[in-house]
Every structure is written in C-alpha cells, then in structure tokens.
C-alpha cells in the first residue's frame, strides 16, 4: 500500500515505482496527488464527463474537414496571382458534404455516429448527474463552442457565394476573400481557447484514481498538450523538455506492458509505435528545420503542430490519444477519456505579386520618377553640428505593421540604395548605418507596389547612437510613391 493523505490507500506496484527514473518520479507522484480525492468517480458521473470529451473530439474531427476546405480556398485564390500549390483532399467540396459538417453522422470518429451538434443537444437536454452548478458551467462552454462551429460552417458558404458572384481575374475582387479567411483564423483560435477551457474544467471534476495505466497515459497526454500549445505560439524552446517527459512515460509503459495490460497487448504495442514515431518525427523536424517544400510557407512550428495531430495524436489517424482511450476501455477501466486537439488554421499569401508598371519604363530603381510625400516630422531644420560624439550611427527597422500581404519597398540612404525590392514581413529588417556629420543625411523609402491590399503599409523604427527612444513612422504609400526624410546630427541627438 502507498498512502498519499487520502482516506483510501493507493495501490502502487513497487516494481513500477522502481522502473520510474528519478527525473520523472516527482512528476509521476504529483500526477497521483492531482487526481486523488476522497471518493471514486461513479460510473454514471464518468459517463457524463466522457460525453463532453466525445463532443470535443467530434468537434475537432469536423474542424479537420473545415480546415481542408478553407486551406483549399486559400490555395485556389492564390493561383489567381501566381502561387501554385497542391490542394489537400481536393474531392472535399461543399457539394458533396452535408449542409452542416458539424451535424453529419457520416463524418464521425466513433461507431456511435453522433455528430458534435447531436451530442451538444444531448448535453444541453440531459440529466444533472454532475450537479446543477457543474452542468451549468460545462454547458455554457458547449453553447459557445456550437456558436463557433456554426460560424465556421457558414464561412464555407460565404466564400463560395462571393466567388460565384465575382470575377477573380480582376485582382481587386480577390482581396475580400482574404478577409473571409482571416475570419476563419479568428474562429479557429476562438475554438481552441474554448476547447482548452472545457477540457481543463472536465479534468477539475476528476476525483480518485489509483490506476497506473491511466496515470502514465495522463502524463503522456498532458505533456503532449503542453507541447502543442507552445507550438501554437510559434515557440520551440520547451519541445525537448516535453518530449523527454513523453519519452520517459513511454519507456515506463513499455517496461511494464505485461503487468499493466492483462489483455489486448496488440493495442498497447500500437500505442508504443505511435508514440515512438511521434517523438522521432518532432525531434528530427525541430532540430534540422527540414520540412517539405509545400509546407515551407507555413513555418516549422505550424507544420510540426498540425502534423503531430493529423498523423500521430488525433482520432482521425487514429493516433495515440484515441488508442489510449481504446485500451483503457478494453481493459474495463472507469476513466476520463483523453481529448483530441484542434489544428491551427493559417493564411498563406502568394509568393509574388504582379509588379505595378514603372513610370518612364526604366528598370533601375534609382532613376524611377517618384512622387515625394512630405515628412510627417523632421529631426531638425538646422544642419549645425553638435558637440563631438565618438560614434554616430542610426539603427533602422522596417516591417509590415498589418497583415503580411507582400508589400515591397526600396530604401536609399544618402542617395545609396541599401534595400532593393525588399518584401516586407512581420519580422523586422534591421539595418545599421553610419552618419556623415559633414552633410545633411537623408533617408528615402520608395513603395515598389501596393501588395495584395492597397496602399503599401510600412512601419519604420529608428534609434540614434543606440540611445533614446525609438521613433515610429507609419507610412501608407501608393505604388512608386516615396517618403523622404532629412536626418541631421543635431536633430537626432535630441532623442
């Protein structure tokens, strides 16, 4: 017997305790403490909780279909500019799918054939076996999630209707579609937030469990979810730590496979295979940064996140989360099921934008006739030099402050081109330049195009001699329009 302060003792096999490495023993014991309570969960309560998990998992499956539809819309409109890419599951169209993909029993991951909308009705109309207050809170999340799901389903028709009514050969008609897709990004993010809140609330309801198979699987699932959440934030710093936790629990499970599983060893082996492949995939992709060419525009973290879910984790694979649920069920356990996780939806803009015809038909940037915008602010109207400074330099940063729509600029400093046809991004392009005290220094920003959405928006930040505040300049320029600014040493030293 092993006591953790609860009224009921926890039966823990000391062979298993010995098999757990010291590095993970504390985490293992904390997980036991987390799920321990005075009384065990009744079968009726657990069934009610698992209906919510099933609702989440079926919602994620519907979102996977919606993800394919929206991504294909994205690739379709990009072709009208110049980006050619292969669509995923191109047979999936609005025409072959039901009116609401979240209310179609044919597209479910379980034999019950219950869609997320059907499950939501059962939950909202069901009994209060979990208590009035708990049911009210859980159903509040369900209602919000259903609203998001219906909005995502409506979006597929909004895009299709717009495309049918507009000539996409006219580029200005393409812009609004990206607005629809941006709405899709917000809805997918909103769903993920609600999914996570409901999932955490369900775990809060979990009472007593001394089952080691569940505790090992719960550690694997918890570490996987934390890793996925970091990847959603484009953060890869904690990946190795989470992989170590998953790997440690996987080895514990493998070492105790015979003792923990009385039957259905084949399913246990499938779980181990899935986990080992996921760990290998993530370690390789994260360390090398090598991802398939068709996924390069999405970025490494996005690719790893969605590939984990589609290939290794979610029920659609079927992945190890659903396999763990299956094994626990076959072993006759009374447990809280492990939930799937939603994909990230991200917009990809065309690689190249059709260039605006240059005035005077001259290919060199320096000789392009331009319209100059008066500066929004001057450093100084005086050109007199200040006291001697050991080093004079200016640090510049250029970036697109709005959405990444392929605005490009050229920049000259003292009549020398330091950037030519540079495509602005969200990340900052940093440049350090020496200041010539003997003359008036000038900076000129020339808009080469207007990107997908007019006008060309460019943000510039600068710092003089590494001190003082950074001054922000937000420019909105038409094609071949320029912004010119006089930079004097005296004026810059005021910062």
CA distance 308 to 140: 30
With 0.85 as the threshold, say if the pTM is over it: no
Alpha-carbon distances of 432 from 304, 415, 436, rounded to whole Å: 35, 16, 13
Helices 132-165 and 116-125, interaxial angle, to 10°? 150
Closest CA to 341 of 64, 104, 113: 64
pLDDT in tens, 429-475: 888 888 777 777 788 888 776 665 667 677 777 777 776 445 556 66
Share of the chain above pLDDT 70, in %: 70
Residue 386 confidence class, pLDDT cut points 50, 70, 90: very low
Question: Which one has a higher pLDDT value, 108 or 416?
Answer: 416
Q: Which residues contact 293 (CB under 8 A, 6 or more apart)?
A: none
pLDDT in tens, 319-369: 999 999 999 999 899 999 999 999 999 988 765 433 322 322 333 333 333
CA distance 250 to 457: 50
Give, as one character, the DSSP assignment of residue 372.
E
CA 442 to chain centre: 41
Q: What would the two tokens of residue 268 be?
A: 């246990």
Produce one character per residue of 36-66: b if its CB has 16 or more CB atoms within 10 Å, e if not. beeeebeeebbebbbbbbbbbbbbbbbbbbb
pLDDT in tens, 290-300: 888 777 778 89
Closest CA to 300 of 349, 234, 239, 240: 234
For the chain, domain boundaries: 14-330, 359-493
Residue showing tokens 């003082």: 468
Q: Which residues contact 461 (CB under 8 A, 6 or more apart)?
A: 396, 397, 428, 470, 471, 472, 473
DSSP helix, strand, coil percent of the chain (3-state; round to 5): 50, 15, 35
pLDDT of residue 16: 45
359-493: what fold?
Lipoxygenase-1 (2.60.60)
From the number of C-beta atoms within 10 Å of its C-beta (0-12, 13-18, 19+), residue 223 rates as buried
Say if strands 429-434 and 416-423 run parallel, antiparallel, or are unpaired: unpaired
């Amino acid at each position: 017997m092993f006591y953790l302060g609860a009224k009921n003792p926890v039966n823990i096999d000391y062979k298993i305790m010995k098999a757990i490495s010291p590095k993970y023993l504390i985490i293992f014991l904390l997980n036991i403490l987390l799920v321990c309570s005075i009384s065990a969960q009744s079968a009726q309560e657990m069934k009610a909780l698992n209906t919510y998990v099933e609702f989440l998992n079926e919602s994620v499956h519907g979102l996977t279909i919606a993800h394919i539809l929206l991504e294909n819309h994205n690739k379709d409109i990009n072709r009208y500019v110049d980006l050619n890419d292969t669509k995923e599951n191109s047979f999936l169209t609005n025409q072959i799918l039901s009116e609401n993909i979240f209310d179609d029993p044919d597209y479910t991951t379980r034999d019950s054939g219950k869609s997320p909308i059907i499950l939501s009705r059962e939950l909202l109309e069901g009994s209060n076996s979990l208590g009035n207050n708990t049911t009210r809170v859980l159903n509040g999340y369900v209602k919000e999630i259903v609203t998001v799901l219906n909005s995502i389903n409506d979006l597929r028709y909004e895009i299709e209707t717009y495309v049918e009514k507009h000539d996409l050969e006219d580029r200005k008609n393409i812009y609004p579609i990206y607005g629809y897709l941006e709405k899709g990004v917000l809805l997918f993010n909103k769903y993920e937030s609600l999914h996570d809140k409901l999932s955490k609330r369900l775990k809060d309801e979990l009472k007593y469990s001394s089952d080691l198979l569940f505790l090992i699987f719960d550690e694997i699932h918890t570490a996987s979810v934390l890793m996925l959440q970091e990847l959603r934030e484009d953060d890869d710093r904690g990946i190795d730590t989470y992989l170590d936790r998953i790997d440690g629990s996987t080895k514990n499970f493998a070492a105790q496979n015979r003792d923990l599983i009385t039957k259905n060893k084949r399913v246990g082996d499938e779980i181990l295979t899935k986990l080992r492949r996921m760990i290998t995939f993530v370690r390789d992709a994260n360390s090398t940064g090598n991802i398939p060419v068709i996924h390069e525009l999405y970025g490494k973290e996005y690719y790893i996140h969605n590939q984990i879910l589609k290939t290794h984790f979610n029920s659609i694979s079927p992945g190890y989360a659903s396999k763990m649920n299956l094994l626990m069920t076959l072993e006759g356990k009374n447990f809280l099921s492990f939930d799937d996780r939603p994909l990230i939806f991200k917009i990809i803009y065309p690689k190249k934008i059709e260039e605006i015809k240059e005035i005077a038909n001259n290919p060199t940037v320096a000789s392009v006739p331009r319209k100059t915008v008066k500066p929004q602010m001057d450093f100084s109207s005086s050109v007199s030099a200040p006291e001697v400074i050991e080093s004079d330099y200016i640090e510049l940063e250029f970036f697109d402050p709005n959405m990444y729509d392929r605005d490009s600029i050229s920049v000259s400093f003292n009549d020398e081109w330091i950037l030519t046809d540079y495509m602005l991004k969200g990340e900052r392009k940093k440049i350090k330049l020496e200041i010539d005290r003997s003359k008036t220094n000038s900076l000129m920003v020339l808009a080469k195009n207007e990107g997908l959405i007019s006008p060309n928006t460019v943000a510039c930040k600068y710092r003089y001699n590494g001190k003082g505040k950074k001054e922000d300049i937000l420019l909105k320029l038409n094609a071949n329009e320029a912004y010119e600014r006089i930079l004097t040493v005296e004026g810059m030293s005021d910062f």
